[in-house]
């Protein structure tokens, strides 16, 4: 029966704890509970991380020798295409806005569920079916899509890339695209309409703020990609010539459309992970976040600018306005710098607890700094012309995305106990962190040098150059270390399975999710505290150290 | 509600300004159209929220001094469980397979979509199953 829900007031026995419903697989198929849907998203996307990671290990193994024969040239094309596609479309985004955001955002704002629970469930099923569709290309006669994760026209035309694999890639992207759009609608509606009394916009946790901005970006960017994909499909099968010169079309239009989605997508991927780090760092520094409003306006500025920088991916096409896109891209460094300053400011003179989650967040900060700074180089057309399509670009965005993986792992260690009720083993977690952090640097740093020494991306074989081979070998060692870290995470889950009960608030957290039980009950709360700052749980648990309202100074008492 | 409106309207104004500069400077249409559409997409809900924010009392979630009891009462209707999202998702899956492997996949695809739309609507009217 649809439940018409009253908001919980300070009555512990309010009574939504008894929720009877289907069990087992029927529960999974029919659930509309945001926590179960979020958990399904998380498990599926981590499986995608493992699959995409396996493709990466194969790519790195192929490149350990100049004339690698582990896979054929055609298989290599499929591998790098599907590695990028799986990681970008099926792991990073869905993990953040489908997984952790789905679970955490409603609880952080004191809501009983997402605003549209059935739409939320539909989003997951579209995502799962889209993932299966895209990966099933490997089981077709011609193999999976092999034109790179960007699907550039005219390489992606039916003449240059015939076969079902490319169509399954387009179909899978359409399904996951709609899934993302529906999640964006749901997040916006939930944050705008289901906040608890007193939870004003400028008291929302930074993670929720970042998810709101991410949702707005999703709604601005994903429909453009969907339209572009429909036109690509029409070119392939209905005889249109939107992207082909032969019929009067414009191939570079695909690049405009793709990157108009693709660059905001970088921030759709990044902002949730920025939010995770911004939740972890204050809690484990025992301080409120430094520059709360500055963080919010920096996030909004990044989102606004991100819609005007798409063609910095297209500098070498020769048909884009270089000064405009260069200036806009360089401007993004300002709000990003503010964020890094605030993260450091939050840790400054804090009582830092080096838990696994905190180590992951610090690892994220350092790795993202490397990726961000090299992004500034690439925003400059003269440098971009020199490094375009080389391993320098690969190194830059792998520094960025591996930073996000570090933050994501931090998020799992931080919020995992809230979702499951059990802690993960900290010792194994810390070993995992060092493998992941060191592996990331050993994997990415040689790629910068490889790029500067001229090695192009997407090559299955390369000339016999001892320097290139050494750097490739080093990078492969890093990739293996990252693979070991992923295995350690799986081992940790097995070792820690229902072993270390977490309690409701194991980290002395600040935000509302730490006020409820672990795992939270059906519809999340038995009661809610008064909300007078962005740290309501901290205020409730530490009345002697209540947060000071923004813009006011604490009274100094002798 | 005012903050929500201000965020969306500010983003819309920024995209409008960016669009004007870019379109005049580059004379490139695709990007100009996309930024213009981005501006409209921000103005549409932004103006709606702005209109309402001037006509309604501050909600408990907009009031910094609100107590939990001020938010007591009905929050909304939340379906318990429902098979229809899964059915609709499977329908969409078959429709996409029809684009790749043959039009006959449309039969189960559109069938499931229609079934899910009817079932979901009926469920919304009478209440879902728990």
Please give the Cα distance from A321 to B25 (Å, whole number).
8
Question: Cα–Cα distances in Å, from A185 out to A179, A193, A553, B101, B130?
Answer: 10, 12, 38, 31, 25
Nearest CA in chain A to B3: A201
**Chain B touched by A196 (CB under 8 Å):** yes
What confidence tens digit (pLDDT) does each residue in A77-132 have?
999 999 999 999 999 999 998 999 999 999 999 999 999 999 999 999 999 999 99
| C-alpha dist (Å) from residue A549 to A40, A190, A541 | 38, 25, 17
Query: Any CB–CB contact under 8 A between A160 and chain B?
Result: no
Residues of A in contact with B91 (CB under 8 A): none
Confidence of residue A549 (pLDDT cuts 50, 70, 90): low
Angle between helical axes of A333-347 and A322-331 (0-180°, round to 10): 10
Angle ∠(A280,A514,A505) on CA atoms, nearest 5: 90
Q: Indicate whether B68 belongs to any domain.
A: no
Kindly state whether A303 is in contact with chain B, defined as any CB-CB distance less than 8 angstroms: yes
* Contact at CB, A5 and B74, closer than 8 angstroms: yes
Q: Would you tell me how many other CB atoms lie within 10 Å of the CB of residue A155?
A: 15
Q: What is the pLDDT along chain B (130 residues), one digit of tens a residue?
A: 899 999 999 999 999 999 999 999 999 999 999 999 999 999 999 999 999 999 988 889 998 998 888 888 777 778 888 999 999 999 999 999 999 999 999 999 999 999 999 999 888 776 654 3
Cβ separation of A32 and B66 shorter than 8 Å?
no
Backbone dihedral angles phi then psi of residue A254, each to the nearest 5 degrees: -60, -40
Smallest CA–CA distance from A320 into chain B, residue: B26
Instruction: Taking residues A63-80, report their average pLDDT.
Output: 94
In a domain, B109, yes or no: yes
Q: Report the alpha-carbon distance of residue A390 to residue A406 in Å, rounded.
A: 25
Interface contact flag, B83 A5, Cβ < 8 Å: no
Contact A199 B61 (CB under 8 A): yes
Q: What is the mean pLDDT of chain A?
A: 92
Tokens of B99: 């684009």
Is the model's pLDDT at A2 over the cut of 60?
no
Distance of CA A404 to the CA centre of its chain: 6
Long-range pairs for A26-30: beta carbons < 8 A, 24 or more residues apart: A27/B81, A29/B83, A29/B86, A30/B81, A30/B82, A30/B83, A30/B86, A30/B129
B121 vs chain A: nearest CA distance in angstroms?
11
For residue A13, the model assigns a pLDDT of 41
Which of helix, strand or coil describes residue A5? strand
Distance CA A466, CA A169 (A): 37
Number of domains composing chain B: 2
Interface of A with B in 2-41 (CB under 8 A): 2-10, 19-22, 27, 29-32
Do B7 and B55 lie in one domain? The reply is yes
**Shortest CB distance from A21 goes to which of B8, B70, B81?**
B81
Asked if B90's CB is within 8 angstroms of A125's CB, the reply is yes
Res A8: pLDDT? 59
Provide ipTM, 2 decimals. 0.94
| Distance (Å, whole) CA A481 – CA A338 | 32
Residue B53 shares a structural domain with residue B103: no
User: CA of B22, closest CA in chain A: separation in Å?
Assistant: 7
Does A224 sit within 8 Å of B72, measured CB to CB? no
Whether this model's pTM surpasses 0.90: yes
Interfacial A residues in 130-149 facing B (CB < 8 Å): 132-133
User: Which of A256, A49, A234, A103 is closest to A156 using CA atoms?
Assistant: A234
| Chains A–B, number of C-beta pairs less than 8 Å apart | 212
The answer to whether residue B70 sits within a structural domain is: no
Return the closest-CA partner of residue A520 out of A410, A421, A414.
A421
- Give the whole-number percent of chain A exceeding pLDDT 70: 94
Least CB–CB distance from B70: residue in A31, A132, A197? A197
Please name which of A549, A526, A527, A552 lies closest in space to residue A539, comparing C-alpha atoms: A549
Q: Residue B31 and residue A125: Cβ atoms within 8 Å?
A: no
Say if the Cβ atoms of A118 and B3 lie within 8 Å.
no
Q: How many CB atoms lie within 10 A of CB A459?
A: 15
Q: Would you kindly state where each structural domain of chain A is located, as residue ranges?
A: 35-542
Residue B128 in domain:
no
Chain A residues touching B92 at Cβ < 8 A = 126, 129, 175, 178
Kindly give, in sequence order, each residue whose CB lies less than 8 Å from that of residue A71, ignoring residues fewer than 6 positions away: A58, A62, A79, A460
Name which residue leads in pLDDT, A16 or A104: A104
Same domain, B6 and B40: yes
Report, as an integer, the average pLDDT of A287-302.
Answer: 95
pLDDT tens string A338-388: 999 999 999 999 999 999 999 999 999 999 999 999 999 999 999 999 999
| A-chain residues near B105 (CB < 8 A) | none
Looking at CATH, the fold of the domain delimited by A35-542 is given as Cytochrome C Oxidase; Chain A (1.20.210)
| Residues of B with Cβ-Cβ distance to A128 under 8 angstroms | 89
pLDDT bucket at A552, cuts 50 / 70 / 90: low
Which range of residues forms the domain containing residue B9?
A: 2-60
> Is it the case that residue A10 has pLDDT exceeding 50?
no
Q: Is the pLDDT of residue A17 over 50?
A: no
Residue A515 forms contact with B (CB below 8 Å): no
Mean pLDDT of A23-46: 93
Residues 325-364 on A with a CB inside 8 Å of B are 328
**B11 in any annotated domain:** yes
Can you give the pLDDT at residue A550? 57
Using the Cβ of A297 and the Cβ atoms of chain B, whether some distance falls under 8 Å is answered with: no
Residue ranges of A 213-242 with Cβ closer than 8 A to chain B: 216, 219-220, 224, 233, 237
Cβ atoms A27, A21 nearer than 8 A: yes
- Each residue's pLDDT tens digit, A184-229: 999 999 999 999 999 999 999 999 999 999 999 999 999 999 999 9
Contact A83, A52 (CB under 8 A): yes
In chain B the beta strands, taken as DSSP E runs, fall at: 74-78
The DSSP H or E segment spanning A82 is helix A73-85
pLDDT exceeds 60 at position A435: yes
Which residues from chain B sit within 8 angstroms of residue A203, using beta carbons?
64
Flag if A122 and B15 touch (Cβ within 8 Å): no
Cα angle vertex A150, ends A145, A156, to 5°?
A: 50
Angle between helices A34-62 and A101-108 (to 10 degrees): 140
Minimal-distance CA residue of chain B relative to A26: B83
Contact B82 A32 (CB under 8 A): yes
Q: Are A109 and A512 in contact, with CB atoms under 8 Å apart?
A: yes
Q: How far apart are CA A306 and CA A221, in angstroms?
A: 10
**Shortest alpha-carbon distance between residue B75 and chain A (Å):** 6
> Per the CB < 8 Å rule, is A307 touching B30?
no
Q: Are A183 and A37 in contact (CB under 8 A)?
A: no
């Amino acid at each position: 029966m649809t439940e018409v829900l009253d908001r919980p007031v300070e009555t512990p026995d309010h009574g939504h704890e008894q929720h009877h419903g289907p069990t087992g697989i029927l529960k999974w198929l029919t659930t509309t509970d945001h926590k179960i849907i979020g958990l399904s998203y998380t498990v599926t996307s981590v499986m995608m991380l493992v699959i995409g990671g396996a493709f990466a290990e194969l790519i790195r193994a192929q490149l350990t020798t100049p004339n690698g024969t582990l896979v054929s040239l055609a298989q290599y094309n499929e591998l790098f295409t599907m590695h990028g596609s799986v990681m970008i479309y099926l792991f990073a985004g869905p993990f953040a806005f489908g997984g952790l955001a789905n679970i955490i955002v409603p609880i952080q704002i004191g809501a009983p569920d997402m605003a549209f629970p059935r739409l939320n469930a539909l989003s997951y099923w579209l995502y799962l079916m889209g993932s299966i569709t895209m990966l099933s290309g490997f089981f077709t006669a011609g193999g999976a899509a092999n034109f790179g994760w960007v699907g550039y026209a005219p390489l992606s035309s039916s003449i240059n890339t015939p076969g079902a694999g490319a169509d399954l890639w387009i179909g899978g992207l359409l399904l996951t695209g709609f899934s993302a759009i529906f999640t964006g609608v749901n997040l916006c509606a939930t944050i705008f309409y289901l906040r608890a009394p007193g939870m004003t916009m400028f008291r929302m946790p930074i993670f929720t703020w970042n998810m709101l901005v991410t949702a707005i970006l999703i709604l601005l960017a994903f429909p453009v990609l969907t339209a572009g994909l429909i036109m690509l499909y029409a070119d392939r099968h209905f005889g249109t010539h939107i992207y082909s010169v032969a019929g009067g079309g414009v191939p570079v239009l695909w690049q405009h459309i793709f990157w108009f989605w693709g660059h905001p997508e970088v921030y759709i991927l990044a902002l949730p992970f920025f939010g995770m780090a911004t939740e972890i760092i204050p809690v484990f520094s025992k301080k409120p976040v430094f520059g709360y409003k500055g963080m919010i306006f920096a996030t909004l500025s990044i989102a606004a600018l991100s819609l005007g920088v798409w063609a910095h991916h297209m500098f070498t096409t020769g048909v884009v306005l270089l000064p405009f896109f260069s200036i806009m891209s360089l401007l993004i460094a300002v709000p990003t710098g503010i964020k890094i300053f605030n993260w450091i400011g939050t840790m400054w003179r804090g009582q830092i607890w080096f838990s696994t989650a905190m180590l992951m967040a610090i690892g994220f900060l350092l790795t993202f700094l490397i990726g961000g700074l090299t992004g500034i180089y690439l925003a400059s057309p003269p440098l971009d012309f020199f490094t375009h399509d080389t391993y320098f670009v690969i190194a830059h965005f792998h520094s960025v995305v591996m930073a996000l993986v570090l933050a994501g792992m931090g998020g799992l260690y931080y919020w995992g106990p809230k979702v499951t009720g059990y802690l993960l083993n900290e010792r194994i977690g810390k070993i995992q962190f060092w493998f992941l952090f060191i592996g990331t640097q050993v994997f990415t740093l040689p790629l910068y040098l490889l790029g500067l020494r001229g090695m192009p991306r997407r090559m299955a074989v390369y000339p016999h150059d001892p320097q290139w081979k050494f750097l490739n070998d080093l990078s492969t060692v890093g990739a293996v270390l990252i693979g070991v870290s992923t295995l350690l995470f799986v081992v940790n889950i097995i070792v820690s399975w229902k072993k270390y009960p977490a309690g409701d608030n194991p980290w002395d957290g600040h935000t509302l999710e730490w006020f409820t039980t672990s795992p939270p009950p059906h519809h999340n709360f038995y009661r809610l505290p008064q909300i007078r700052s962005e740290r309501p749980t901290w205020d409730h648990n530490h009345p002697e150290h209540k947060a000071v309202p923004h813009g006011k100074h604490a009274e100094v008492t002798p | 509600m005012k903050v929500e409106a201000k965020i969306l309207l500010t983003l819309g104004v920024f995209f409008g300004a960016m669009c004007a500069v870019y379109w005049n400077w580059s004379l490139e249409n695709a990007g100009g159209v996309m930024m213009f559409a981005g501006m409209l997409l921000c103005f549409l809900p932004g103006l709606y929220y702005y209109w309402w924010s001037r006509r309604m009392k501050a909600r408990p979630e907009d009031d910094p001094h609100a107590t939990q009891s001020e938010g007591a009462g009905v929050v909304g209707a939340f379906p318990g469980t429902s098979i229809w999202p899964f059915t609709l998702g499977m329908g969409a899956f078959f429709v996409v397979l029809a684009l790749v492997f043959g039009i006959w996949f449309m039969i189960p695809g559109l069938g499931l979509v229609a079934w899910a739309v009817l079932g979901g609507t009926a469920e919304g009217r009478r209440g879902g199953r728990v």
